Amino acid sequence: ISFADPDFLNAPHHSRRVVAAIHRRHPDLTFDATIKVEHILRYPDALPELAEAGCAFVVSAFESVSDPILRCLDKGHTAADASDAVIALRTQGIEVRPSWLPFTPWTTVDDLVDVVDFVVAHDLIANVDPVQYSVRLLVPDGSLLLGETTMTAHLGAYDPTRLGWTWAHPDPAMDRLHAQIATLVEARVGQAPVRTFDEIDALIRSSAETSSARPALGAVSVGPMGDRAHLTEPWFCCSEPTEAQMAPLEPLV
């Protein structure tokens, strides 16, 4: 089963009681949970209990490894916290499946290089669905970002078909890179994620002013990727819909 509420550990005592009760009644049942980075680090004593009760993996909204972008998004964690969260979960035998928000008005291509470098260094290539690298910030009506000067400078018109405000990156090359990655990801559906990652990584590095070599797997590596636990459908939220998602709706709009 999936505990998909991102505030799963916002009431840690209640969540832990629920997990313990389910495990007593159904000891062979596994589950996944969506947990904020800040909660992973705030409640380390909960992690062994989750592992013992059958937690297969944790979904967590890392979003970026740029601290300025994380502050713009008011995420409540830093890039260093994300790294610590990987280690904290993996120490208990739990894999993390991070969700990313790589394309925002504030993202640079170097920020994207940092994301793929983080994924490699933390042995997360097999843990990230390729669509995550094409996710673009969704700004729905009522978004708190609409009141932020860092956002308003980039806004266009409201698009009712996409239920959000349009925006353009100050560097048109970033919007072109997003389109390239999105097209690549949709064309590679069904391909092994590791192979698709290689192509995405190459696209990003070729767009960077200073090309850098891919880092080696770090100390947090768990070795062979194998078939790590995952959802049957890629999970992502707070993002603009992909073209593949919009296509079936076009006759209706």
Regarding whether 146 and 93 lie in a shared domain, the answer is: no
Regarding whether 108 and 85 lie in a shared domain, the answer is: no
* pLDDT score at 196: 94
Of 60, 77, 100, which marks where a domain is finished?
100
Tokens standing for residue 247: 């296509």
* 223: pLDDT strictly greater than 60: no
Residue 90 lies in a domain: yes
Residue 33 lies in a domain: yes
Residues 19 and 144: their CA atoms lie apart, in Å, by: 33
For residue 239, which of 128, 139, 141, 98 has the smallest C-alpha distance? Answer: 139
* pLDDT score at 228: 82
Residues 215 and 212: their CA atoms lie apart, in Å, by: 9
The string of pLDDT tens digits covering residues 48-90 is: 999 999 999 999 999 999 999 999 999 999 999 999 999 999 9
Residue type, 158: Y
Residue 239 lies in a domain: no
Regarding whether 127 and 113 lie in a shared domain, the answer is: yes
Q: Which domain holds residue 91?
A: 1-100
Instruction: Name the pLDDT band for 230 (thresholds 50, 70, 90).
Output: confident
Instruction: Name the pLDDT band for 36 (thresholds 50, 70, 90).
Output: very high
Beta-carbon count within 10 A of 66 CB? 21
Residues 97 and 183: their CA atoms lie apart, in Å, by: 23
Q: Specify the number of domains making up the chain.
A: 2
* 242: pLDDT strictly greater than 70: no
Residue 4 lies in a domain: yes
The residues, any chain, with a CB within 8 Å of residue 71's CB and separated by 6 or more, are: none
* pLDDT score at 132: 96
The residues, any chain, with a CB within 8 Å of residue 188's CB and separated by 6 or more, are: 130, 195, 196, 199
Residue 124 lies in a domain: yes
For residue 129, which of 107, 169, 91, 102 has the smallest C-alpha distance? Answer: 102
Specify the CATH number for the domain of residue 22: 3.40.1260
* pLDDT score at 238: 60
Residue 235 lies in a domain: no
* 253: pLDDT strictly greater than 60: no
Of 70, 100, 130, which marks where a domain is finished?
100
* pLDDT score at 225: 55
Regarding whether 207 and 181 lie in a shared domain, the answer is: yes
Average pLDDT, the chain: 89
Residue 201 lies in a domain: yes
* pLDDT score at 219: 44
* pLDDT score at 85: 98
Regarding whether 166 and 134 lie in a shared domain, the answer is: yes
* Percentage of the chain lying above the pLDDT 90 cut: 75
Asked if residues 239 and 101 have their Cβ atoms less than 8 Å apart, the reply is: yes
Of 100, 120, 135, which marks where a domain is finished?
100
Regarding whether 64 and 77 lie in a shared domain, the answer is: yes
**3-class secondary structure, 99:** strand
Residue 250 lies in a domain: no
Lowest mean pLDDT among 110-119, 125-134, 148-157, 212-221: 212-221
